[in-house]
Amino acid sequence: MSPRRLLVAVSAVQLAASVTGQVVALRRRRHFDVPFMTGSPDHVGRDSWWFGTAYSAPSYMLAAQAYAVARLAAGPDDRARGMLRLLGTSMIGGYLSERFNRQVLTGRVVDPVETPIVVVGFAGTIAMAVAGANRQAGR
């Protein structure tokens, strides 16, 4: 598999996990909860646009990721590669700062729906950051 196709694949899987996570968070009212700021279960829908949810990045980041994945899937695009690398790198911090994700990743919370979303999403962000660092992935 070429480096570009690998980056497209891992980014698409991560995006699918994030979108699924956003839907689950909206239905279960799982608001964001990071050390410096906390959302409210009553405002999960509104907050998902700018702050994200317990299981997903903000909607504007998911839109940027979808755009970059589509551009890179269509052909070589070094800007799309860089965008996916930047998004993956920044989302690593987001996953680790989210209180509920830390509980899932350390095994304190196990849920048949939420746990796979968090694990696949977090692994996807790491894979995006690593695959996106390869300059050949943009060519």
The per-residue pLDDT for range 40-58, each reduced to its tens digit, is 999 999 999 999 999 999 9
> Are 80 and 95 spatial neighbours (Cβ–Cβ below 8 Å)?
no
Q: Which of 51, 48, 72, 55 is nearest to 134 (CA)?
A: 72
Q: Which of 67, 59, 73 is nearest to 21 (CA)?
A: 59
Q: Rounded to whole angstroms, how far apart are CA atoms 121 and 134? A: 20
Q: Rounded to whole angstroms, how far apart are CA atoms 126 and 111? A: 22
Query: Structure pTM?
Result: 0.95
Residue 139 is predicted with a pLDDT of 87
Give me the helix-helix angle, 78-97 and 3-28, nearest 10°: 40
Q: Answer yes or no: is pLDDT of 14 > 90.
A: yes
Chain-wide mean pLDDT for the chain? 96
Tally of CA atoms within 13 A in the half-sphere of 63 that contains its CB = 7
Residue 126 is predicted with a pLDDT of 98
Give me the helix-helix angle, 114-133 and 78-97, nearest 10°: 140
